[in-house]
Amino acid sequence: MPILIRLVDKLLVAPAAALAAAARRRRSHPPRAAAAPSLVAIKLVGMGDAVLMLPALAAARAAGYRLSVITSARCAAIFSAPGVADEVLVLRRPGLFPRLRAIARTLRQCDLVLDFEQHVFWSTALAQLAPRRAPCHGFRTASRRRNFCYDHLVDPGREPRMMKTIFDELARSAGLRPVADLLPLPITPAARQSVAQWRQSQGLQPGQYVVIAPGSGATVGFRRLPAATWAEIVAGLPPELPVVLVGTRIEATLAAEIVAALAAETSGRRPRPPLQRLDLRLEELADLMAAAALVIATDSGPMHLAAAMAAPVVGIFGPDTPRRYAPANPFSVAVSLHLPCSPCNNCWVYREASCTNPDRFACVRRLPAAQVLAAARSLLAGASGAGRRMAAADEGAHNQRQDDRA
Distance CA 264, CA 228 (A): 10
Percent of the chain with pLDDT over 70: 84
The total of other beta-carbon atoms located within 10 Å of residue 23's CB is 10
The total of other beta-carbon atoms located within 10 Å of residue 111's CB is 18
Architecture of domain 3-173: 3-Layer(aba) Sandwich (3.40)
- Sheet with strand 294-298: strands edge to edge: 275-277, 243-246, 210-213, 294-298, 313-316, 333-335
Distance CA 319, CA 361 (A): 8
The pLDDT value given to residue 379: 95
Per-residue pLDDT reduced to its tens digit, 101-144: 999 999 999 999 999 998 888 999 999 999 988 999 999 998 88
The pLDDT value given to residue 384: 44
Identify the top-confidence range among 215-224, 300-309, 376-385: 300-309
The total of other beta-carbon atoms located within 10 Å of residue 147's CB is 15
Low-confidence winner among 209-213, 268-272, 308-312 (lowest mean pLDDT): 268-272
Per-residue pLDDT reduced to its tens digit, 42-100: 999 889 999 999 999 999 999 999 999 999 998 999 999 999 999 999 998 888 889 99
CB 185 within 8 A of CB 54: yes
Return residue ranges of the chain for CATH 3.40.50.2000: 3-173, 189-405
Q: What are phi and psi of 272, to 5 degrees?
A: -150, 145
What are the Cα distances from residue 267, in Å, to 187, 205, 233, 235, 273? 39, 25, 14, 9, 11
CATH fold for domain 189-405: Rossmann fold (3.40.50)
The arithmetic mean of pLDDT across residues 8-34, rounded, is 69
